[in-house]
Amino acid sequence: MEYTFLGRTGLKVSKLCLGTMNFGPYTNEVTSHKIMNSALEQGINFFDTANVYGGMFDPKSAGITEKIIGRWLAKNKSHRDKIVLATKVYGNMGVAPNESKLSAYHIRKACEESLKRMQTDHFDIYQMHHIDRNTPWEEIFQAMEQLIREGKITYVGSSNFAAWNLTEAFYKAKERNFLGIVSEQSIYSLRNRHIELEVIPACKNFDIGLIPWSPLGGGILCGVLEKAKEGRRTREPLQQSVEKLRPQIQAYENLCKKIGYRPADVALAWVLSNPVVTSPIVGPRTVKQLEENVKALEIKLDSETLNKLNEIWPGPGNQAPEAYAW
Positions marked active-site? 53
Neighbours of 262 (CB within 10 A): 18
Tell me whether residue 121 is exposed, middle or buried, using C-beta atoms within 10 angstroms of its C-beta: 0 to 12, 13 to 18, 19 or more.
exposed
Cα separation, 26 vs 70, in Å, equals 18
Is the four-CA dihedral 53, 65, 214, 252 of positive or negative sign?
negative
Phi and psi dihedrals of 258, rounded to 5? -65, -40
Cα separation, 25 vs 14, in Å, equals 26
Cα separation, 64 vs 77, in Å, equals 20
Cα separation, 157 vs 185, in Å, equals 8
270 to each of 215, 280, 305, 309, how far by Cα in Å? 9, 11, 10, 9
> What angle separates helix 199-206 from helix 163-175, to the nearest 10 degrees?
30
In 172-203, which positions are buried (b, 16+ CB within 10 angstroms) versus exposed (e)?
bbeeeebbbbbbbbbbbbbbbbebbbbbbbbb
| φ/ψ bin of 45: left (φ > 0), alpha (ψ from -120 to 50), beta (otherwise) | alpha
In 3D space, the residue among 130, 104, 137 whose CA is nearest the CA of residue 186 turns out to be 130
